[in-house]
Structure formats: structure tokens, C-alpha cells
A and B are shown apart, each in its own frame.
Chain A
Amino acid sequence: GAGVSQSPSNKVTEKGKDVELRCDPISGHTALYWYRQSLGQGLEFLIYFQGNSAPDKSGLPSDRFSAERTGGSVSTLTIQRTQQEDSAVYLCASSSSAGASTDTQYFGPGTRLTVL
């Protein structure tokens, strides 16, 4: 079946602009995650959605970052007033969690964000 898809694959923006990154999880997966991969920080957890529960936002680096998940499927990560340090690859993952916290996470190809 289809894997996790993300769009756009690349995004170049100017400092101060807002950006939206999209993630389509594997069909039927109830859990969705966002991670960030940057040279200086490695792979970092950002946010986690599970079904209709309140998301775990503990990894979001600042209030300029937000995410939503509509209809329990597609998710959008929004970064407001982008800064150069936001430049990174943003990875989305999903898992077929029925509540287990340790189900395998399957990753999408990522969105490479460059802030000029």
C-alpha cells in the first residue's frame, strides 16, 4: 500500500514568512508524528497526534510552531515568521497504534525547508 506522503518536497522561503507543510499518513494509521532533522540537532521529536486525543506538543521549539490534524488523517505543520534556524528537513511518520505507545513508526520522505 501507499506509504506516508509529504508535500512539498522542498520549500524555500524568506525570513519572516509563514509556511505550511503537509503530511498524509498511511491509510488506517491512527497515530501521526512530526520530527525535525537538522545538522546541529539531529532528529528531534516535535509533536504527536493519537486519534481524537489532545496532541503531545512537548517537542515544539517555540510558539511559532503549530500543527493540526483534520479528520484524523492529514496533518499540517505551520511555522510562522520563519527564522533561518528553522531550516531543516521536517519528517512525518505514522503508526497503526490502537493505543500502544511503541508501535513502529513509518516515515515519509520529508520536506526540506530552507529559510533565506
Chain B
Amino acid sequence: AQKVTQAQTEISVVEKEDVTLDCVYETRDTTYYLFWYKQPPSGELVFLIRRNSFDEQNEISGRYSWNFQKSTSSFNFTITASQVVDSAVYFCALIITGGGNKLTFGTGTQLKVEL
């Protein structure tokens, strides 16, 4: 069975600080995809990124960057120069090929960015 662990329940930072959200996953499959979603107070899950298990290149999109390391089964998410609008719950998720199309989510990390 698959499992995603987000050990950080809540993180508080001051605006402009950098913050890293941790994600550790478990799967026996060699082919899988990892995702990050953002859930702002409005409640809708917003897709941020998707990464397949064969692509370990890090990715940067504006202030967001992702570090995928298969050796440690981690897919961490860094926000540079955080802003109040980044305040949300962030979910890491995993899906395996042939796994019935089910996303396995972590428990989420509540990020609070304060002025």
C-alpha cells in the first residue's frame, strides 16, 4: 500500500521568509507520480505540480521550487520570499500506475504567513 507523510502539521513564518514543506512517500511501485496541491481558505484544491518517478530534476516556478529525491523518497516544496497569499493548507499526493487512479494524500501542512 502507498503512504504519504507530511510530518509538519503547521508552520508559521513572517512574510518574505523562505519556507520548506516536507513530503515523504512510500510505495513498492517503480512507476508513480507525485503531486502538490494548495487548499486556500476557500476550500478548493488547486493543482501546483506533477512529477513522475523517472524525472528527478528539480523544478522552479516563480517563487516555488520542488526537490525530488528518490534516494530518500522525498518530494519537498519550497516557497521563496513567502507572501500572505501563500497562507493555505498544502497537500502532497501520490498515484501509482495501475493503482486504480486513486490519489493517496498526506495529511497536509497548514502554512501561515504573517506580516
Cβ B101 vs Cβ A101 within 8 A: yes
Other A-B contacts than A43-B105, A56-B100, 13 sampled, CB-CB below 8 A, are A31-B101, A33-B101, A33-B103, A42-B107, A45-B102, A48-B101, A56-B101, A95-B101, A101-B95, A102-B33, A102-B96, A102-B101, A107-B44
Number of interface residues of B (CB under 8 A): 28
Among B10-18, B35-43, B64-72, the stretch in contact with A? B35-43
Closest to B105 in A: A43
Total CB contacts across the A-B interface at under 8 A: 63
- Contact pattern, B 79-104, Cβ under 8 Å of A = 1, otherwise 0: 00000000000010101111111111
Closest to B93 in A: A43
Cβ B50 vs Cβ A104 within 8 A: yes
Number of interface residues of A (CB under 8 A): 26
Q: Which of A2-51 contact B (CB under 8 A)?
A: 31, 33, 35, 42-43, 45, 48, 50
Cβ A101 vs Cβ B43 within 8 A: no
| B52 contacts across to A, CB distance below 8 A | 102
What residues of chain A have their CB less than 8 Å away from a CB belonging to chain B? 31, 33, 35, 42-43, 45, 48, 50, 56, 58-59, 89, 91, 93, 95, 97, 101-102, 104-110, 112
